[in-house]
Amino acid sequence: MRYSRLFAAGLTTAVVLVAMFDWSGPSSAQTQTAAAAAQVEPLGQPCIAMTDPFKGRMAGADLPPGLLPVGDDDKSAILKSGLPCQERVSPGGPEAIGLDNLQRGFDFYSWRTFIAMNSPADGSPIGQSQPDSPTRWEDMNNFKQLLDVMLPADMGPPKWPSDRAQMEAEKVRLMPPACRVRYKPGMMVVKMIEESYNEPFKTGPLIDQKGRYAIFDILMNRRMFDYISNNNLFSKKGQQSRANFGLAVDFPVGQNPDPAKGIAGDVGAFMLKVSWKILAPEEIKARNFHMVNALVSMPKSDDPKAPPPPCLQETLGLIGFHAVHKTASRPQWIWTSFEHVRNVPDKDEVAAGKFDGPYSFYDINCRDNCAKVNATPPRPWTPDPALQLKFRKNVEFKSQIVREIPLTNATKNMNTVFHSMLHGTVWENYMLLSTQWPSAFGCTSLHSQSFDAPAPKTDFLKQPDMTCSPAPTFLANSTLETYSQGDIPQASSSCIGCHGNAVSFQTGSNPKPGQVRLNQSDFTFMLEKAQ
Amino acid sequence: MADNNCIKCDVAIVGSGFAGALIANELSQKGISVVILEAGPGIPPNINDYMKQFYNASAKVPESPFPPKLKQKDTDPKLIDPAKVAAGRPTVLTLGADNWKDPEQAYLVQDGKRRPFASTYERVAGGTSHWLGTSLRFVPGDFTMKSSYGKQATNFPFPDWPKDITSQSLSKWYGLAEAELGVSADVKEQSFLGIYFPSTYAYPMPKIPPSLLDQRIGGALAQLSENETRFLGMEKPVTEVKVRSLPAARNSQPYRNRRACAGNTNCIPICPIQAKYDPTITLNEATNRGARLIDHAVASEVIVEDGRVSQINFVKYTDEAGPKSGEGCVKARIYVIAANAIETPRLLLMSRNQGRTSKGVANSSDMVGRNLMDHPYYVAWALLPPTEKPVFPYRGPLITSGIGDLCDGPFRAKRAAFRVDIGNEGWNYVIAGGAFGADPHVTTIDFVNGMNSSGLNKQQFNQIKDNVALFGADLAHKLNDLISRQLRIGFLVEQTPDPDNRVTLSSKFRDALGLPRPEISYDISEYTKQGIVAAFRMKNLIFNKLGARDFTVRADGDPAGFDEVIDGQPVKLTYGGAGHIMGTCRMGDNPKTSVVDSNQRSHDHNNLYLVGSGTFPTGGTANPTLTLSALALRTADNIVSSLKSHG
Amino acid sequence: MSTSPHHERSRIAPGATIPEQAGEVSRRSMLAGTVATTAVAAVGPIAGTAYAQGADPNSKQDMMAFLLLSAALTGVHVANLAPEFAPDKTDVLNSDPGVDPINVKNEYFAWINASDGPTFGKLLQIAKDHRQSASDIINGVNASDDTRFLARSIVLLWYLGSWYKPADLKSNSAPGAAAFIASQVVSAKAYTQGLVWQIAQTHPMGYSNLQFGYWSRDPDDPNDPGSRSNLGFITQTIP
């Protein structure tokens, strides 16, 4: 008997009925005015499985002829298909190689995910969205920021009510006082900690052409939140409690409906990591970024005697977007990364001198005066409250970033197709980098829900590789893994490779020889943020 | 050097290893301006290049990931001549019988008249990051060798440490060092042999779980007879020897934004996920707080005027091969030399001040460079019989547990103490005494090519026939069968301080910056040899209890080898280096016989501190890193007070 | 170890992902008749070597022959050498070697071909001629020195990720010889894909994809049908 505990009931295969409730939101962004209640389905319903209708091979240098424009029916179906609950992929298909067919399936699934997430929260179609239309993932009913979950002990357990008024009250309760005075409903509030400006494992901040810090944020959906909340994982004390000694953390999976097996279908666990740029007035005017009116609370000082940090009002522009989804067939999660098309050039473009700027994190015109490519900024890195998220008083330093691993042709072609469908919206300025997925099917399927395996559904004891051979082997976003790009095993950025090392503060591993007590945290570093 | 062009700061530190980084960090936190001179390159944004170099190295020695490169091409038979390297360092690759005394290959100049000094270090930001991670506190007896074990003896070679350094007085600083490094251990388990912990103390993280071999050896030593253990000479009869987790600066939980260990089995030379602490972590904190790191800057002379240090000159270079590209100097109120126990005395001895300090700076005692110590490392390896369950090496950190209970006792009046390492990496670097390369390569080649470098390719062990060459499933099964039963242990043995074991400057051999290279004269004493003899007996006990077959051999021509007769039998013994370089700027209360006081401040120059394990008057058996870190933090505190009181 | 339903090799995954099969050694039922033109195509031999007598890196048959040869010599299942391998039911030589994310087989093929194309060609022919029987391949390989020692280099390449020259192996092949043989690490990737570590139920030093604390527990036996991670690892038979 390997595991002494089955986690709380019914999260994975239970039929999930999500209540429809009032939502009073505007169709334009900046403030929320009382508006007519609209019945809008939250993200994740219904579960529509779909494969791509595009004809021909995308893995070559050129887009197959006749592929564009995408037919109206197909376009409509895709843009409205909603958030996939599970991938639908196959090694069979138009590509010459099985792996390419699978990758294409995942890339298509990623675009569907991106579109569903970024569709306007008011329910209108993405084709009608404005750059500043609040998106569905930004809506407090769909995703919650990590810092609103991993609360300090004196703030009590985190809450995620189903009533919007109560959700709003909880958001305000957790807001720093300096932000409360400036807050108006509808604003995003970003509370910064070190990881909000310093990339994972303290690899460094990212500084734009105006000398300002890029800002990072992490969010989870209700399924993840419920699991954390129900299992008391939001605090160190809870993680280390006796009740959790035998818990093998195992977030709920997404799954397509299967009436024959009595599976209703559910979206499962989703987590997001996003990166923002502080937009200058001319950038706000140019409307090339998805924009959010935000309050940004700067990081607290280490010095307990220091005054509370300032809360700044900024217009943030989306520059990077990771969406990570756990599904029944890929319990190692599926890792999707998007970024703005004008963040950085890739190294082939730099070598050829073929730029498509201006870029947010690369200066084409610096000539002999360029900062070293992909170098971290000079220290100190800690933002100075007096400078309000400017890195230095004057713009003495700007990050000079180049993408080390260019996009594949297949992904570029997929991007071209989707850009054509999103033409006229700000979303054609975002591109998919790739999707990383566990490719060794024999490995990934072991103990996954496909096989009616006993709990836990995800198997962390697999050897020799519990990451199940991620494809592609390496993946890095130029804004989120800026300084770990490369192709060196273990050292260079690989979503699954790195997240496989994530553990919680649970007590154990193996207090008695042979006794299995895991502290792995199911591919998320969220649990280590518990206080 | 025009001194108005010197860089100015409050405190200048030479060397950015453990001691240098910790002191820089403490001082920067207090707003003190710090400049660090680092001989090697600075900290890269990621370890991609280190890992790439490591993976591609055919000889994965501790130095393999780090600059400067050892060979032009990995496949070259010879190393780059150290005369052509700007800031070179010793390497395991030049500890062979054929090259340890060849100054055109070995950085440390050794003429071969005595025994080889077998330890190495790095010269790069972060210092000797290739360390294992072991973070043991000294036992109380380690600090009081003379008064505990040598009171009556006239020529007892060990002094006591200064009176104000004891297990108890250092405890506060050990705790602070353990917090900065992030040490994983269990206080109850570490409270043996009188090691002092405050009653409420808890290590930052829970202990690292033991490996299968740890568990096996622990079981094998749980019930012993007094006859079997009498040779140990412990205070009380020994009927059980405990295997304890080794406290380690290796995360067992997320700690300060670093991941927990995933058992990459690569601590030495480099942890691919930085679950093992290395000083670049503290260095980054220090520079974030305003400390300034100047890389590719080799301190070349400490200038003394009117009994105080007035500046430190350094040489700059841009290319690994040199030559020098410029010069510089730094002026400070206080100077700290943290360049390790070979490079620190080298710098002090180089600093002649145009004859005013002809014996070197801080050297009125003539002790600078003397009393060079290591932990001579006796290693042994064995094979479990097919009737025993395998122990599956190459899993987990390189070492997770050890035996420390035997490192103190009345026997220390007569023979050196030892600690036991239990290796989790099988025969990786020990196979055949290192004569034919590393494992699993050697064992694999044996069974593919019908050779017997390992000693295993005999019918008695492979159950097939002598010198068999296999293909296919037979090969795979056989390798699984044999490798899974390989094990190794190691003994860190205390070395006596001996003024004739010393670092001096080579009169003939230089580096590519024109600076004289360190010359070493070294041997091990009878006291230490008897400690190795006791280790040999302990090894026999352990292997017998495991039912394991001893495969320990001494490679032909091993320059460290020595022969003993034990229980009437001739035995070939040897030692390796543990990488623990100590003693060359020893601490003491008496300025005539020591270089620094208990605050690691030079007796001769009151604005000069010498830090690191070079100040250890005795070495004990524990890895010096935690103790030198504790002392560094204590010294930082002393520097802060000193600056405050001098305005 | 308990037997559990998901270790049945023939079981097909129900539900969502269609038409993927699971747990099968034969992962893909599709026949790939086309040549693999992938971004990771094998590098051809150096100009000047006897290409005509060497192996063709663009030939799926040659790649399959290489995989069969390697499986016979290493004793490791083809499915582990080429994780995306899809067998042809009629003639294994017509199987699709597949392209997997790491694709170390292509790197090795190119390396061996560049080292000694003609002898490599001979080895592939032996594999093609005896593709039903690992022992016949081994006997064929052992029949002469050139094939025997190149085969040994190939085994060491798969096992260790390093290249030991056949000539060096030969000059040290007196029975019971004890010697250091120089080698070259083929690449960082090759080192991390070395098979001897998996055979020893562990991982290459410096490359672990396992969980904290795993070393405190017994390893899985990759050959144990009841074990969690298996698809079968060591094999007497091919493919």
Residue in chain B closest to A379 (alpha carbons) equals: B288
Rounded to whole angstroms, how far apart are CA atoms A486 and A494? 9
**Beta bridge partners of residue A321, listed in sequence order:** A274, A338
Rounded to whole angstroms, how far apart are CA atoms B483 and B425? 10
Q: Which domain holds residue B451?
A: 171-270+374-496+525-573
Strands (E), A74-207: 143-145, 188-191
Which of B213, B444, B477 to mutate against chain C (most C CBs within 10 Å)? B444
Instruction: List the alpha helices (DSSP H) in chain C.
Output: 60-74, 78-81, 104-115, 117-129, 134-142, 145-160, 166-171, 188-192, 195-199
Return the partners of chain C (3 or more C-beta pairs < 8 Å).
A, B
Q: Is the pLDDT at C92 greater than 50, yes or no?
A: yes
pLDDT tens, position by position, B63-104: 999 999 999 999 999 999 999 999 999 999 999 999 999 999
Q: Could B209 and A510 be called an inter-chain contact, meaning their C-beta atoms sit closer than 8 Å?
A: yes
Q: Are B87 and B512 in contact (CB under 8 A)?
A: no
Average pLDDT in chain C: 78
Q: Could A98 and C206 be called an inter-chain contact, meaning their C-beta atoms sit closer than 8 Å?
A: no
pLDDT in 10s for each residue of chain A, 531 residues: 222 332 333 333 333 333 332 223 333 333 343 343 345 667 877 899 999 999 999 999 999 999 999 999 999 999 999 999 999 999 999 999 999 999 999 999 999 999 999 999 999 999 999 999 999 999 999 999 999 999 999 998 999 999 999 999 999 999 999 999 999 998 999 999 999 999 999 999 999 999 999 999 999 999 999 999 999 999 999 999 988 987 889 999 999 998 998 888 999 999 999 999 999 999 999 999 999 999 999 999 988 899 999 999 999 999 999 999 999 889 999 999 999 999 999 999 999 999 998 999 999 998 888 899 999 999 999 999 999 999 999 988 999 999 999 999 999 999 999 999 999 999 999 999 999 999 987 777 655 433 444 445 567 777 788 899 999 999 999 999 999 999 999 999 999 999 999 999 998 655 565 566 788 899 999 999 999
Q: Are A238 and A222 in contact (CB under 8 A)?
A: no
pLDDT tens, position by position, B245-268: 999 999 999 999 999 999 999 999
Residue in chain B closest to C235 (alpha carbons) equals: B473
pLDDT tens, position by position, C156-196: 999 999 999 999 999 999 999 999 999 999 999 999 999 99
Beta strands across the sheet bearing B34-37? B292-294, B34-37, B11-14, B334-337, B608-610
Which helix (H) or strand (E) covers residue C184, if one does? Answer: strand C184-185
pLDDT tens, position by position, B512-526: 999 999 999 999 999
Q: Is the pLDDT at C18 greater than 70, yes or no?
A: no
Q: Is the pLDDT at C231 greater than 70, yes or no?
A: no
Report the candidate in B54, B169, B15, B29 with the shortest Cα–Cα distance to residue B585. B15
Structure letter (DSSP) for residue B596? B
Whole-number pLDDT of residue B185: 97
Phi/psi region, residue B40 (left: phi>0; alpha: psi -120 to 50; beta: rest), is: beta
Q: Are B515 and B350 in contact (CB under 8 A)?
A: yes
Q: Are A118 and A110 in contact (CB under 8 A)?
A: no
Cβ contacts of residue C219 below 8 Å, gap of 6+?
A: A463, B392, B395, C201, C202
Rounded to 10 degrees, what is the CA torsion of B155, B158, B163, B168?
-140
φ, ψ for residue A293, nearest 5 deg: -85, 115
Rounded to whole angstroms, how far apart are CA atoms B107 and A322? 49
Whole-number pLDDT of residue A445: 65
Report the candidate in A338, A346, A334 with the shortest Cα–Cα distance to residue A414. A338
Mean pLDDT, residues C77-104 taken together: 92
Q: Are A495 and A475 in contact (CB under 8 A)?
A: yes
pLDDT tens, position by position, B467-513: 999 999 999 999 999 999 999 999 999 999 999 999 999 999 999 99
Is residue B240, in this structure, part of any structural domain at all?
yes
Rounded to whole angstroms, how far apart are CA atoms C61 and C69? 12
* Closest Cβ opposite residue A503 in set C28, C32, C212: C212
Q: Are B482 and B456 in contact (CB under 8 A)?
A: yes
* Closest Cβ opposite residue B262 in set A194, A375, A501: A501
Return the partners of chain B (3 or more C-beta pairs < 8 Å).
A, C
Is residue B296, in this structure, part of any structural domain at all?
no
Question: At which residue do the structure tokens 């090795």 appear?
Answer: C108
Rounded to whole angstroms, how far apart are CA atoms A327 and A324? 10
Q: Is B66 helix (H, G, I), strand (E, B) or coil?
A: coil
- CA torsion sign for B276, B282, B283, B288 is positive
Provide the shortest C-alpha distance from residue C163 to chain A (in Å).
Answer: 20
Q: Are B633 and B177 in contact (CB under 8 A)?
A: yes
ipTM above 0.90, yes or no: yes
Whole-number pLDDT of residue C235: 87
Q: pTM of the entire structure?
A: 0.92
Is residue B100, in this structure, part of any structural domain at all?
no
Phi/psi region, residue C48 (left: phi>0; alpha: psi -120 to 50; beta: rest), is: left
Q: Could A195 and B209 be called an inter-chain contact, meaning their C-beta atoms sit closer than 8 Å?
A: no
Provide the shortest C-alpha distance from residue C178 to chain A (in Å).
Answer: 32
Stretch among A39-43, B7-11, B197-201, C49-53 having the lowest mean pLDDT = C49-53
Mean pLDDT, residues C210-239 taken together: 77
Whole-number pLDDT of residue A457: 58
Q: Is the pLDDT at C33 greater than 60, yes or no?
A: no
Q: Could A505 and B253 be called an inter-chain contact, meaning their C-beta atoms sit closer than 8 Å?
A: yes
Q: Could B472 and C206 be called an inter-chain contact, meaning their C-beta atoms sit closer than 8 Å?
A: no
* Closest Cβ opposite residue B284 in set A202, A492, A507: A202
Whole-number pLDDT of residue A25: 32
Residue A343 tokens read as 């963040």
Residue B268 tokens read as 């030495």
CB of C207 less than 8 A from some CB of B: yes
Q: Are B125 and B283 in contact (CB under 8 A)?
A: yes
* Closest Cβ opposite residue A484 in set B46, B50, B275: B46
Q: Which residues of A touch B289 (CB under 8 A)?
A: 380
Residue C156 tokens read as 């060491």
Total domain count, chain B:
1
pLDDT tens, position by position, B533-587: 999 999 999 999 999 999 999 998 899 999 999 999 999 999 999 999 999 999 9
If you count residue pairs, one on B and one on C, with CB atoms under 8 Å apart, how many are there? 197
Report the candidate in B516, B49, B69, B81 with the shortest Cα–Cα distance to residue B319. B69
Q: C 27-56 residues with CB below 8 A of B? A: none
Residue A386 tokens read as 């007096």
Which of A199, A239, A376, A379 to mutate against chain B (most B CBs within 10 Å)? A379
Report the candidate in A257, A270, A383, A279 with the shortest Cα–Cα distance to residue A325. A270
Q: Are B462 and B449 in contact (CB under 8 A)?
A: no
DSSP string for A41-96: PPTT-S---------S--SSSSPPTT-PSPPHHHHHHHHTS---SS----S-SSSS
Whole-number pLDDT of residue A246: 79
Q: Is the pLDDT at C17 greater than 50, yes or no?
A: no
Task: Please state, in angstroms and as integers, the Cα–Cα distance from residue B132 to each residue in B243, B412, B440, following that order.
Answer: 18, 27, 20
Split at pLDDT 50, 70, 90, the class of C234 is confident
Whole-number pLDDT of residue A447: 52
Q: Are B472 and B341 in contact (CB under 8 A)?
A: no
Q: Is the pLDDT at C52 greater than 50, yes or no?
A: no
Domain map (residue ranges) of chain C: 13-28+37-216
Q: Is the pLDDT at C22 greater than 60, yes or no?
A: no
Whole-number pLDDT of residue C8: 23
* Closest Cβ opposite residue A483 in set B46, B50, B272: B46
Please confirm whether the linkage preceding A152 is cis (ω < 30° from 0). Answer: no
Q: Could C206 and B393 be called an inter-chain contact, meaning their C-beta atoms sit closer than 8 Å?
A: no
Provide the shortest C-alpha distance from residue C98 to chain A (in Å).
Answer: 7
Tell me how long chain B is: 647
CB of B273 less than 8 A from some CB of A: yes
Q: Angle A439-A443-A448 (CA atoms, 0-180°, nearest 5)? A: 105
Residue A99 tokens read as 């792996």
* Closest Cβ opposite residue A510 in set C19, C86, C217: C217
Q: Are A499 and A455 in contact (CB under 8 A)?
A: no
Whole-number pLDDT of residue A463: 76
Whole-number pLDDT of residue A508: 64
Residue B313 tokens read as 């000159």
Whole-number pLDDT of residue C57: 77
Rounded to whole angstroms, how far apart are CA atoms C137 and C140? 5
Residue A303 tokens read as 């010095």
If you count residue pairs, one on A and one on B, with CB atoms under 8 Å apart, how many are there? 76
Cβ contacts of residue B73 below 8 Å, gap of 6+?
A: none
Residue A346 tokens read as 């890739």
Stretch among B280-289, B433-442, C37-46, C194-203 having the lowest mean pLDDT = C37-46
Residue in chain C closest to A59 (alpha carbons) equals: C38
DSSP string for A458-502: S-S--SSBTT--EESS----TTTSGGG-S--TTTS--HHHHHTT-
Q: Is the pLDDT at C10 greater than 80, yes or no?
A: no
CB of A203 less than 8 A from some CB of B: yes
Whole-number pLDDT of residue A329: 87
pLDDT tens, position by position, C40-51: 333 333 333 333
Helix, strand, coil shares, percent, chain A, to 5: 25, 15, 60
Q: Is B613 helix (H, G, I), strand (E, B) or coil?
A: helix
